[in-house]
């Protein structure tokens, strides 16, 4: 079960493009942000668009993370075990943190 890398990013891109087009259509045709918020309408619309963008990116990341988990399970890792990545640097960790790392 070999997933191509970047499938989640492709999914995020497609979802982002569709959501952005849908949001632009909604703002152009149905929303009355100018009447409600006045001069701050542009800021409100921009922040809503950033939120939609963030959701699309998180969806793609979650898809990739689940694909990695499924590959690990197919490779023999028990399903109840989380496939954590090893940290790059543990020099500032105390003994409790290092013990928890060993237990995982």
Which domain does 47 fall in, by range? 7-85
79 falls within a domain: yes
DSSP-based three-state secondary structure for 49: helix
Q: Is 55 part of any domain?
A: yes
Instruction: Answer whether residue 57 is part of any domain.
Output: yes
The answer to the question of residue 91 being in a domain is no
**What's the pTM?**
0.70
94 belongs to a structural domain:
no
Query: For 54-96, how does the pLDDT look when each residue is reduced to its tens digit (9 = 90+)?
Result: 999 999 999 988 888 888 888 887 877 766 666 677 778 888 8
Distance CA 20, CA 33 (A): 17
Counting the structural domains of the chain, the total is 1
**pLDDT exceeds cutoff 80 at 44:** yes
Q: Is residue 20 part of a domain?
A: yes
pLDDT of res. 1 = 47
In this structure, is residue 34 part of a structural domain? yes
Mean per-residue pLDDT, 41-65: 93
């Amino acid at each position: 079960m070999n997933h191509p890398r970047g499938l989640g990013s492709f999914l995020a891109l497609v979802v982002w493009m569709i959501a952005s087009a849908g949001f632009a259509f909604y703002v152009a045709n149905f929303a009355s942000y100018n009447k409600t918020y006045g001069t701050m309408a542009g800021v409100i619309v921009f922040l809503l668009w950033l939120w939609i963008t963030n959701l699309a990116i998180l969806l793609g990341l979650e898809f990739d993370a689940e694909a990695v988990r499924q590959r690990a399970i197919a490779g023999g890792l028990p399903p109840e075990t989380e496939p954590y990545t090893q940290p790059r640097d543990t020099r500032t960790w105390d003994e409790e943190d290092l013990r928890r790392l060993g237990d995982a």
